[in-house]
Amino acid sequence: MVSRRNILKMGLAGVGQSLFAPVSGAAATPGAIHNDHGQDIAWLRNALQTAIQLEFATIPLYLCAAWSITDAADPARNTLLDIVQEEMLHMGLACNMLSAIGGRPDICSPGSVPVYPGALPGGIHPGMTAALRRLTPSTLDVFMAIENPEAPVVSDTAYSEQSSTIGAFYSQIWQVFKRLRPRFASTGQIEGSLGLFTMHSLDDVDSAINEIIHQGSGTPSSPMNAKGNGLAHYYRFAELHHGRRLVQKPGEAWGFHGDVVAFPSVYPMADIPSGGYLRQDLPAPVWESIHAFDRCYSAMLKSLDAALTRGSQRNLADSVMQMREMKDIGVALMKQPISANNPGCGNYGPCFRFIG
């Protein structure tokens, strides 16, 4: 039998530690709370489900970019995988916030699983399309736009003037939490080894939302995360984009004029087509790998959903093993040329397609 402690030490090879472990507790059903803004408890639950989908949508994007780096020990790969771990944490915190107010996180129904290419959930950066791509400077542009701060200390993305940032979205959720002051329940909440904690009060929600915002985009006065022990996601992506460390010299503003950050070598993965690769277009062995990844991805989501909703240790252990298998299949696909006679076609890659 796999203990919770050992499960939490096991993770997706190349992604990091497993995030989730179940927590038991007594249920408490929130009442039908309404306010003058029309944002009642149902609105808040819907907003938190959207937050879960938003965090979820970033993970395959960042994983594709990380796995496309040829050297498993490259610092850029580790940077991206660290960010993936934190996005998993954010997703878990959003799940806990929803469970705490009587909602049920949905991560594996067809309407909740992200489809690529596509728009980000919640109307974040309307007009921007998120697609599964290898790591390139243009990919980093999109990642920086996703994580763009409301008030960046250094900004150079085309989305700088957009008001629909992730930070603004979570700030609105926090304002509604404060107005509604809902009752909290422990049932269905999860905890784990990446700093995931449960919600029992508004103070817990405040801490969770601050951590999500600051890890993603820093603060108006600093590019650092809330703990001050590393740069926020936006600025870590920006360092790769600029090829320089972000530093602040005495008496000067922050700028990308520190040590060189080398751009890594990557597999020439072609952009994944809309809807993913189709069986009739592929050689049988390639389709088997494409479909194997989709099956593994879908099984992982179902196992994780069961762990979230039923507190199943077995399902939790299954999801960790499936995450590891996903990475192995995904990287193998990125090494497979689409055409042996035409290298310009690039290589295959994982579709992250849910099979219900």
Rounded CA separation 205/250 (Å):
36
The predicted structure's pLDDT at residue 26: 36
Q: What is the pLDDT of residues 105-134, one digit of tens each?
A: 999 988 899 999 999 998 888 888 999 999
- What number is the average pLDDT over the span 232-256? 91
Supply the CATH classification number for the domain 41-260. Answer: 1.20.1260.10
The yes-or-no verdict on residue 31 having pLDDT over 70 is no
Burial class (CB in 10 A: 0-12, 13-18, 19+), 78: middle
Report how far residue 56's alpha carbon sits from residue 79's, in angstroms, rounded to the nearest whole number. Answer: 18
Name the strand (E) or helix (H) holding 248: strand 247-248
Kindly tell me the burial class for residue 220, based on how many C-beta atoms sit within 10 Å of its own C-beta (0-12, 13-18, 19 or more).
Answer: exposed
Reply yes or no: is the peptide bond before residue 182 cis, omega within 30 of 0: no
Mean pLDDT within 279-285? 96
pLDDT band at 356; cut points 50, 70, 90: confident
How much is the pLDDT for 6? 35
Given a contact cutoff of 8 angstroms between Cβ atoms, the answer to whether 197 and 204 are in contact is: yes
Which is nearest to 141 in space by CA: 126, 156, 124? 156
Q: C-alpha angle 115/163/248, rounded to 5°? A: 100
Q: Of 100, 122, 131, which Cα lies nearest the Cα of 275?
A: 131
Least confident of 117-121, 157-161, 196-200: 157-161
Question: DSSP assignment, residue 251?
Answer: T
Residue 29 has pLDDT above 80, yes or no: no
pTM: 0.87
Which pLDDT value is given to residue 251?
79
What distance in Å separates the CA atoms of residue 40 and residue 132, rounded to the nearest whole number? 36
For the chain, give the mean pLDDT: 85
The predicted model gives 49-77 an average pLDDT of: 96
d(CA 344, CA 116): 22
Helices (H), ranges, the chain:
4-9, 41-67, 75-100, 137-146, 166-180, 202-217, 233-242, 284-310, 313-334
Tell me the one-letter amino acid at 259.
Answer: D
pLDDT tier, 48 (very low <50, low <70, confident <90, very high otherwise): very high
Which residue in 300, 308, 298 sits closest to 103, CA to CA? Answer: 308
Beta bridge partners of 285: none
pLDDT at 279 over 90: yes
Place 159 in a pLDDT band, splitting at 50, 70 and 90.
low
Supply 209's token pair.
Answer: 């939302």
pLDDT of residue 158: 53
Q: Is residue 191 very low, low, confident or very high in pLDDT (cuts 50, 70, 90)?
A: confident
Q: How sure is the predictor about 155, in pLDDT bands with cuts at 50, 70 and 90?
A: low
Is 109:224 a contact under the CB 8 Å cutoff? no
- d(CA 110, CA 102) in angstroms, rounded, equals 22
Asked whether the predicted pLDDT for residue 292 surpasses 90, the reply is yes
Q: What is the pLDDT of residues 306-355, one digit of tens each?
A: 877 765 567 767 777 888 899 999 999 999 999 989 989 999 999 999 99
Name the β-bridge partners of 266. 69
Q: Which comes out higher in pLDDT, residue 223 or 33?
A: 223
Tell the residue number behind the tokens 């994983």, with chain if given: 63
Nearest CA to 138 out of 162, 154, 161, 157 is that of 157
List for the chain the helix, strand, coil content (%; round to 5). 45, 5, 45
More confident residue, 28 or 324: 324
